[in-house]
Amino acid sequence: MDKTRRDRDAEGRARNARPRDGLGRPLPYGTPGVERQPEGVVRTPEETVREAQRLLDAGMPFHAHEVFEDAWKSGPEGERELWRGLAQLAVGLTHAARGNTAGGARLLRRGAGAISAFRDTDPHGIGVGSLVGWATELAGRVEAGAATVTVTGSTEDSGNVDAAVEAPRLRT
């Protein structure tokens, strides 16, 4: 396959159609991957939280971030920062699970900062205070090298955060 080929959707926009693993890393064409989240799905806040929690619990924070991103792009203006911050938390966990400690910690803190304005209201039953605490604490452990790690025997994954074990509870 031509390595310079760009995947495009029906409207001609660039879309990466390569299969991905559970952490969103691209796999070679023809390799079985995990099912991708469809883009542009409009969900209720309840559906968004439920689907994102399912993906987080399965150790798939990259895919949870895509669910939050849909809510961020389609939700009411007053909630966009909430959904964007939740997407950043999921991406932070993704980076930490991939072994990118600096990026993971930075995004966890950025996401915590973005959602902290919602701390007093806990919109849609989301435990914002708990999530801010989780993200801040995990960011510190990631930087210190003390987060729960995968034990797969693979040098590639050795020392990376276990995304399923470290997954937050969105609701308290």
Domain CATH code at residue 133: 1.10.3450
3-state SS assignment for residue 8: strand
Query: Distance from CA of residue 116 to its chain's centroid?
Result: 18
Give me the domain span that covers residue 71.
45-166
Tell whether 38 is covered by a domain: no
For residue 149, the model assigns a pLDDT of 54
The total domain count for the chain is 1
Q: Residue 157 pLDDT more than 70? A: no
How large is the average pLDDT for residues 94-123? 96
Nearest to 70 by CA among 96, 44, 32: 44
- Check pLDDT > 80 for residue 138: yes
Q: Is the pLDDT of residue 153 over 50?
A: no
In a domain, residue 91? The reply is yes
Cα(138)–Cα(149) distance, integer angstroms: 12
On whether residue 11 sits in a domain, the answer given is: no
Residue 22 lies in a domain: no
What are the tens digits of pLDDT across the range 19-69?
A: 888 898 888 888 888 887 778 889 999 999 999 999 999 999 999 999 999
pLDDT value of position 33: 85
Higher pLDDT pick, 16 / 55:
55
Is 8 contained in some domain? no
Domain membership flag for residue 146: yes
Report pLDDT for 38: 77
Tokens standing for residue 139? 């960011």
Q: How confident is the model at residue 7 (pLDDT cuts 50, 70, 90)?
A: low
Does residue 73 belong to any structural domain of this protein?
A: yes
Q: Is 98 among the domain residues? A: yes
pTM score, two decimals? 0.82
Greatest mean pLDDT range, 30-44, 105-119, 142-156: 105-119
Q: Measuring CA to CA, which residue among 78, 91, 89, 90 is closest to residue 112?
A: 89
How far is Cα 119 from Cα 98, in angstroms, rounded to an integer?
29
